[in-house]
Structure 1
């Protein structure tokens, strides 16, 4: 039985899978079951920060697996404590505490639970708790029931009604719409500083500054979803710093690139004091408030420590910024009319397309047509909405690999 037949018989059809069977990877390269080589600028959708089979990550997993894979969070796990310290001190740079999950959706659920705890601690004038979280159109916050309720895209909600209450979606980068949306029930604002799945849309400096001001004015929590953008992907440990450096969020969620391929997510909550004399925000999530059987076990934490150490020591965020400038310069020089814009920061870049110039079969999108053509030529990239595809190479991608990928893109797009 072939792999496609096995999938069809035994795996739920929740993905529209491409006809590609990967079997081996090394660095930015991936090989399929026929021996064909691809440049991987998808990297598990921004997961494999160091590429495939990186020696440091492989060694960390092998060493930890030989000592201790898993113990309960009822006990103190040293690798978890060290990873939390590294995240707080080396990456966020603000006092706070970290909870470890298995995915970004779980991390975002943790932020929402924190918001609701805060809404009980700081209720409405009549004493009823605040619970509403404002998110934005074209956002994506995961596929749990909480995640799809928070997500500002109708397509992920179809057939799953009724939605979990307590979310309101407003247009991205629209300060006036946000101001008008805040109500007495509102307790937090959650956003991706750069929307990935929604088309690689970057928050403006003015928008983030306005959000921070509104949060202070209305006693709201400010949460950043950095699941796709964090830990060097956009040119800084925290993508929001590439837009507005002086912000001080109340919570941040991560996953994807922080593990280099192992399933790990996390969220950070600030230690700031609530009100004038209240407890710290992070203390609201005390014993019994949240949990995870596998979250933060020794194996995934050892792997994540290796990934984050490599990103820091090799200054891979700088490489992300440098490659962004190279990519933008080369694409601009092409002057191809089918490319309407290059969006994003660092190595989370979206190539926006003029769909009217692309022959699109019924049931497909312009982005899927181009992604398929690029795969046929040996370049793997994911779509980002109906008329945009993303470049998400490893953070240690080389000039030669970027040039090779761009040559393939130019060949495909110029043929249009």
Structure 2
């Protein structure tokens, strides 16, 4: 089937898309409308933690769809209770609120922090509401989460911004201290800034930030929409630094491809009252049944060690590739990695990789001078080798 046979005009334009339609996916592979296969190192931007259409998701959807899809969030349902228990049993948190997207979870985290600030005012009895965030951060596309984000240009895109989000510099504790005032209620950060270029917070910075926030009686919020659910080699990235945050958000990998996210907090922070928070589809059993299947897969014996091993292997191979072609630094945590390029050739590499034949390669360039790699957590070493070979051929072609 030719692309021209698809009527795409009913879709609202929000981004440039290539002229292909994906029709099937399995593991690390996608197939388009003409039968061409692509090795996928985007995986929905770190969403498909077990790859495309894993059997456990197929089974969970099929079984749950026959039982109960949406009784309304006014009632308890079995899968949401089960998933909440799995999350709290395997983290430092006590309470869970399910949402449909990472942005919605982050919006909820901001609401919860501000609610907590009202109940715990400053020494003068004044409201605390400011949340310190970081330059180059990404927290979502709602008005509040865009305002919280440090993505360049977003401060004017839908101006005026929601106030109350001063920006510090990642891994610079002094820059955070300078922003503290009587209205500060929390500090919010990604343990690894994914959209910012895969920039990890150092262990020392995370520990220093936890000590600083405790000393000033303010909350520490970790946005683990991209880093959570095994992506960094631990179930949650905060565990890499041995800190105990107050609030955490999850998305992407928690649903393995279906719309599911979560807001978690410790018991003493859980101050929402009836009517403060909600959502029509929040915690519906169809999605949370998938979440149960996903976390059970991640908790299986040996799975997380395999993620660490494959992350180390990918890191090593990217460093070899960089040395071979005179590129820049490789960095990241687990299977969230980036490679600095020697010039702004990222978009060109993405296009060439996708269009090469007979097999294509799907890559991501969040900035024109780097590539980001977000494979399924069960990617094989053979699929890593295949990607490295394909990328090496493209780089050789570009460099002549």
Mark yes or no: TM-score above 0.5.
yes
Mapped to 2, the partners of 1:396 and 1:201 lie a distance apart of: 23
- 156-165 or 211-220: bigger deviation: 156-165
Q: Contact 1:382–1:391 at 8 Å: present in 2 too?
A: yes
**Are positions 1:347 and 2:335 aligned together?**
yes
Runs of 4+ in 1 over 4 A off after TM superposition: 1-5
Q: What is the aligned partner in structure 2 of residue 404 from structure 1?
A: 386
Q: Contact 1:336–1:414 at 8 Å: present in 2 too?
A: no
1:212–1:350 distance in 2 versus 1, CA, 3 Å: same
Q: CA deviation at 1:154?
A: 2.8
Mapped to 1, the partners of 2:175 and 2:255 lie a distance apart of: 36
SS in 1 for 2:75: coil
Mapped to 1, the partners of 2:317 and 2:164 lie a distance apart of: 45
Q: What is the aligned partner in structure 2 of residue 158 from structure 1?
A: 156
- 94-103 or 122-131: bigger deviation: 122-131
SS in 2 for 1:64: helix
Q: What is the aligned partner in structure 1 of residue 207 from structure 2?
A: 209
Q: Contact 2:251–2:261 at 8 Å: present in 1 too?
A: yes
Mapped to 2, the partners of 1:229 and 1:200 lie a distance apart of: 10
Q: CA deviation at 1:367?
A: 1.8
1:135–1:3 distance in 2 versus 1, CA, 3 Å: farther
Deviations 1:198-253 (A, max 9, x none): 100010112111111110111110000000111111101111222x12x1100000
Q: How many pairs does the alignment contain? A: 393
**Are positions 1:386 and 2:368 aligned together?**
yes
Mapped to 1, the partners of 2:236 and 2:154 lie a distance apart of: 27
1:161–1:128 distance in 2 versus 1, CA, 3 Å: same
- 182-191 or 16-25: bigger deviation: 16-25
Q: CA deviation at 1:125?
A: 2.5
**Are positions 1:321 and 2:308 aligned together?**
yes
TM-score, normalization by structure 2: 0.95
Q: Contact 2:318–2:339 at 8 Å: present in 1 too?
A: no
1:132–1:47 distance in 2 versus 1, CA, 3 Å: same
TM-score, normalization by structure 1: 0.91
Deviations 1:376-395 (A, max 9, x none): 23111222223111111111
1:241–1:35 distance in 2 versus 1, CA, 3 Å: same
1:266–1:3 distance in 2 versus 1, CA, 3 Å: farther
1:298–1:371 distance in 2 versus 1, CA, 3 Å: same
Q: What is the aligned partner in structure 1 of residue 68 from structure 2?
A: 68
Q: What is the aligned partner in structure 2 of residue 221 from structure 1?
A: 219
Q: CA deviation at 1:319?
A: 2.0
